[in-house]
Structure 1
Amino acid sequence: MFAILRHKPFLFLLLLNAFFLSYLSFLISSKNCSCISIVDPKNIRLAANSGNSAKQTSGNVHAGEASEFDPTVENSALLDILRDRNTFTKWEERSLRNQGNKFRLKCDCPEPPKWLWKNDVNDRRVAEGRNWDEALDKKLQPMVKCLAMSPLSYVGSGITTEPFQAVPILGLYIHDKVIEALENDARDVHFIVRSVSQLGNIHISKNLAPELMDDFIVEGDGTALLNITFVAGKLRSLNLIIDKLVYKSNSFHVDKYDQLEVNFLKFTNYINVHVRRQPLPDLIDPGDEDDIAAKVTVITKTFERYDCLGRFVKNVRKFYPTVPIIIADDSEFPEVVDEPNVKHFTMPFRDGCFAGRNLALSQVRTKYLVFADDDFVFTTNTSLELMIEKLEDKDLELDIVSAPIEGLISLDYVFKLALDAEQGICAAGVLSSVDAEQREVPGYPQCIWGEMLNNFFMAKTTVLRRIGFDPGFIYAGHEEFWLDAVGKAKSAVCNDVSIGHYRTETEKYGPYRFQSEARRKRDPHLLFGNNLCYWKNWEFEEKPETYT
């Protein structure tokens, strides 16, 4: 055998093909072929007749809305893709997704009224919407074609539908060699599809050529269990029929997976269907392209440092005269801050650092925001335009960009998080095995990816709102926010921008700060919120062992 493989590979392939066909003939002629699938035909009838009143028909299929469905792949090039390839190019995958969206509800938008054309806001909305869609497309579950050692090829994942809507079961195809072998057999052949979680029903299109109607019998059309019996010797229509199968969601779920169990001959395959209610976009009008004040807002939280706050506002105005500034203030006796384009919100005394940041965040109306402490100082190196440039680079998919603070060590770490299956998660410091070169941002050598960054950053407003600042954490905090952001935002630090730091202590501010620092490391709130059983920088007498 090895000699044949080495010297005559073509002969070996012929022998392998003959073996495959012989094996198929064995499966077909087996004594147990009356129960070709792992599903008992008796159960098929029971399931088909329970709930929905399924009818057994000969070709003439009808089950409520099933007549609306015609999922036939219309593009012959797509048929070639489904049959002859085991991978998809981006264009091919996009074409298949378009086919999969065939039954999604669609509309024709009316002509916008005159008031909506004001300041080109409608054009900006459409552009932002397209950007949103492009970002979502990059995160879609990839479409995977499954060939394997089975007579059936299929798309195993990437099939998605909205609740109560339908999607074609893409890619079902029986190899021509298999059909050729089956045509010579005198037995009927079953093709069975079952919704494992019963989140949807399987339909077959009524739109079939009249000459094919006598080739098959259907049980359970429009139910969670569909059985198609192909009449012996009439398998020419097999691929035409299974190409018209449709899955329709029958219950309301926001984000859940169903599995389709497909039985053919003695093979069982599983296809994932994602029932997903697509969230509506969170868009914020970016305003005029050249107006930075329409794009970004500066927010800060202050406590008992009005000289410091005054300097901060004056300094921002020096470089960005019209950019909005939002201040959250939980000082005991608030002073009036009356400056153009500055919003000053007062809070109960010592309501908390993060509660104040949340208050300021809630009032932002621009696409981006900058967070800075009130003792930071804008300099000639504090370029908001350079920060926006990274956030608007579609290839980066960046959510937060941080910058160094002059006079302080720049933070650019990745958290070291380990799992205790019984007790929770250990925040065991930072990963020392991942160096800066591995984390360099493509196209921006001055930037590196990270999770634990500086307290000066610009973020996409919608992303930061999803993370938020936990108001239950009342003390001054830094790591706490970045831990909350893990897995929710993609962040980097870039050294082509920086901000100054003029550290200021007041008679009233200092004692509260150091008191907060001591209490912070014994506050169980954040441990609970992130299911942490250990945090390296807090007061634990023992350290956990970490291993891979």
Structure 2
Amino acid sequence: MRAVKKKSCCLGLMCLLLVIFILYCKQPGYIVDISYKSERIPRNLLEYGLEKPGGQFSHIPHKVKNTVLRRLTRNDCNCEGEETLLSSFVGQDAVTQLELVFDAAKRHEVTQRREKEYQHFLQRTRSSADTLLIAKANSPLEYPIQGVEVRPMKTILIPGLKLQTKSHHLLEVNLTATLGTFDVVAEVDEVTIEGAGEMHLSLSSSQVDNLNRQLQFVTYTNTVFNPNTADTVLLKTDRHQAAFTIKIRHPVIPKLYNVENQSGYNISDLVTIATKTFLRYDKLRQLISSIRKYYPSVTIIIADDNSDTQKIEGAFIDQYFMPFQKGWFAGRNLAVSQVKTKYLLWVDDDFIFASDTKLEKMVDVLEKTTLDLVGGSVREITTYSATFLHKLSVEQGGKEGDCLIIHRGYYHQVEGFPNCFVTDATINFFMARTEKVQQVGFDPHITRQGHLEFFVDGLGLLHIGSCSDVMIDHASKITMPWRKKSESEQMYHRLRYVQGSEVDGNLQNKLFYFKNRFKCIRYG
């Protein structure tokens, strides 16, 4: 008999240890699958609160307003274009079919790779917080629709939970999560609690007021470390259900610049001037001389990819040498990476400061508005000035990609600054918040020619304006017929306009097609 009892005890102990081991393995937060999934966008969350278009009301007569219908976002952007004044002005077709820059033999393979990368991009940037969830009317459930946030592995009270009913029978409320657990910070009389500390919490009571009081004490704890995502919480009663998201993310860490309070703007403390030079040391020295005339102590950063380099002497000048012909945007990245001030001013190496190149005006706009970048005007010797105001938009397409739409102009004037306008792309003379430009960066594939690409990459990240009353001169490009070009001038022309066109003639279009997933560029 004792032997039987001993065996039973051993067997019970083994079972207990096995149960503990299984529960330990099932606890969340130890092994997390963050690999790319084969499915594209999860659909299971869309069933809550959504119906087919029309549904039970499809029999009711209606009249379509075509003016509104045309403004609706659709998944079939149009690449058909018409000849416009802008396309004639810039000498380009109204539509550029980007896939045609690839050979027919490679086009399919490139398209397949682009689609794969696009799906990876969606999985990196989308979460359940992007899923459309609708709280139906006449539901007894009250819950937060937006704005609930928890830091990774931390705990919060869930606000806004409530049950609206006058029923006196036994009521039950259930909450279910996938990336965290529920608990209560206090227990209320006449309320039964099941699942505290687990992913599923059940509260029941025959007293509505008591149940609602208990709901005020419900907490959520994130247990799976995967910041910048969201947990979808399912809230259910016996006949109703709803869903809401809890964002899981670290707080945004500010990047502040320690600039002492001062009357007026000390440009030397606030602004660094950055430029890139290649085979134009004479123009660069002219630029520096003009800067020093108005701003003698502002720091100038030079990215230099010449072969026969020359040291630019002078105070407050940082010159960084790069491999020969490393490139236009690579040089921009280098120069911008070394800026320590709150703002940076980008200038080409053949610009010339003038009396109306007032950097204080640009700083004033950036200090008083939410703009991230403000451009100016570039004035040619002929007194013609260019501001390059363009509005950019992306129309959704299908599997072939989206459409980049380019319009000349701006959205509206900046209040308090009558000569400044909000736009999406400006000329190659601009002042910007340093950390925002560093966030967008410059694609180093672009070697000799490029401009629009930076603003396309910054679309949605940069809030851009342009002020026509801040001018900078452009060194004359007019060459007298009797003046012979120097060896460096001839080399510059050959490498930028001749060899550069042969090597990189379709580079920008290839980048637009694959990197940005566009199928065409349409000029409006």
**TM-score, structure 1 length as denominator?**
0.65
Matched, 1:240 2:196: no
SS in 2 for 1:420: coil
The aligned residue for residue 508 of structure 1 is 491
Specify which of 175, 191, 209 is matched with residue 193 of structure 1. 175
Aligned to 2:289: 314
Partner of 1:182: 167
Equivalent residue runs for 1:29-428 within 5 Å: 51=23, 148-175=137-164, 178=165, 181-183=166-168, 185=169, 188-195=170-177, 198-205=178-185, 207-208=186-187, 212-213=188-189, 215-230=190-205, 232=206, 234-287=207-260, 289=262, 290-393=265-368, 396-407=369-380, 408-428=385-405
Q: What amino acid does structure 2 have at the position aligned with 1:159? A: V
For the pair 1:533 / 2:519, whether they are aligned, the reply is: yes
| Equivalent residues of 2:179, 2:224 under 8 A apart | yes
Identify the range of structure 1 (528-537 vs 296-305) with the bigger mean alpha-carbon deviation.
Answer: 528-537
RMSD of aligned alpha carbons: 2.7
Q: Residue 301 of structure 1 contacts residue 328 of structure 1 at CA under 8 Å; is this kept in 2?
A: yes
Query: CA offset at residue 518 of structure 1?
Result: 5.2
2:311 and 2:176 map into 1 onto residues whose CA distance is: 68
Unaligned ranges ≥5, structure 1: 1-49, 55-139, 538-545
Q: d(CA) in 2 for partners of 1:494 and 1:291?
A: 20
Residue 479 (1) aligns with residue 452 (2): yes
CA drift at 1:534: 2.8
Query: Bigger shift: 287-296 or 338-347?
Result: 287-296
Q: Measure, in 1, the Cα distance between the counterparts of 2:503 and 2:259.
A: 41
Q: Structure 2 vs 1, CA of residues 478 and 517 (structure 1 numbering), >3 Å: closer, same or farther? A: farther
> For residues 167 and 337 of structure 1, do their structure 2 counterparts lie closer, same or farther at Cα, with a shift above 3 Å needed?
same
**Does 2:522 correspond to 1:522?**
no
Structure 2 counterpart of 1:97? none
Contact 1:417/1:427, CA 8 A, preserved across alignment: yes
Q: Does the 8 A contact of 2:259 with 2:270 survive in 1?
A: yes
Quote the offset at 1:458 in angstroms. 0.3
CA contact (8 A) 1:153 1:173 kept: yes
Q: Distance in 2 between matches of 1:315 and 1:458?
A: 18
Letter in 2 for 1:532: F
1:419 shift after superposition: 3.0
- The answer to whether the Cα contact below 8 Å between 2:327 and 2:444 also exists between their aligned partners in 1 is yes
Query: Whole-Å Cα distance in 2 between the matches of residues 52 and 236 of structure 1?
Result: 37
By how many angstroms is 1:288 displaced? 5.2
Question: How far apart, CA to CA, are the structure 1 residues paired with 2:171 and 2:268?
Answer: 69
1:260–1:273 Cα contact (<8 Å) kept: yes
Go from structure 1 to structure 2 and tell me whether the alpha carbon gap of 1:146 and 1:536 turns closer, same or farther (over 3 Å shift).
closer
Deviations 1:350-408 (A, max 9, x none): 11011111111111111100000011111111111111111112xx3210000111134
Secondary structure at the residue paired with 2:212? helix
1:145–1:174 distance in 2 versus 1, CA, 3 Å: farther
Tell me, yes or no, if the aligned pair for 1:204 and 1:245 is still in contact at 8 Å: yes
Secondary structure of the residue that 2:213 maps to in structure 1? Answer: helix
Which of 454, 458, 464 is 1:491 aligned to?
A: 464
Does the residue aligned with 2:334 lie in a helix, a strand or coil?
helix
Deviations 1:158-193 (A, max 9, x none): 000111001211011233xx2xx323x4xx211111
Using structure 2 for the length normalisation, give the TM-score: 0.68
> Using the alignment, how far apart are the partners of 2:193 and 2:451 within structure 1?
63
Amino acid in the other structure paired with 2:182: I
1:441 — aligned with what? Answer: 414
Please say if residues 163 and 208 of structure 2, whose CA atoms lie closer than 8 Å, have aligned partners that are also in contact: no
Residue ranges of structure 2 left out of the alignment (5+ in a row): 1-21, 27-128, 478-484
Letter matched to residue 268 of structure 1: Q
Contact residue 473 and residue 526 of structure 1 kept, 8 A: no
Tell me whether 1:431 sits opposite 2:413 in the alignment.
Answer: no
Cα distance in structure 2, aligned partners of 1:536 and 1:262: 46
For the residue of structure 2 that corresponds to 1:404, the secondary structure is strand
1:168–1:264 distance in 2 versus 1, CA, 3 Å: same
What is the rounded CA distance, in whole Å, between the counterparts of 2:235 and 2:285 in structure 1?
69
Identify the range of structure 1 (146-155 vs 366-375) with the bigger mean alpha-carbon deviation.
146-155
Contact 2:387 2:468 in 1 (8 A): no
From the superposition, tell whether residues 145 and 161 of structure 1 become closer, same or farther in structure 2 (CA, over 3 Å): farther
Q: Give the whole-Å Cα distance in 1 for the aligned partners of 2:304 and 2:261.
A: 31
8 Å contact 2:135–2:242 — kept in the other structure? no
Work out the CA distance in 2 between the residues paired with 1:241 and 1:416.
49
- In structure 2, relative to structure 1, the CA distance for the partners of 1:488 and 1:381 (3 Å cut) is same
Tell me, what secondary structure is at the counterpart of 1:358?
Answer: helix
Q: Number of aligned residue pairs: give it.
A: 381
Q: Which moved more, 1:439-448 or 1:518-527?
A: 518-527
Contact 1:145 1:154 in 2 (8 A): no
Q: What is the rounded CA distance, in whole Å, between the counterparts of 2:450 and 2:390 in structure 1?
A: 17
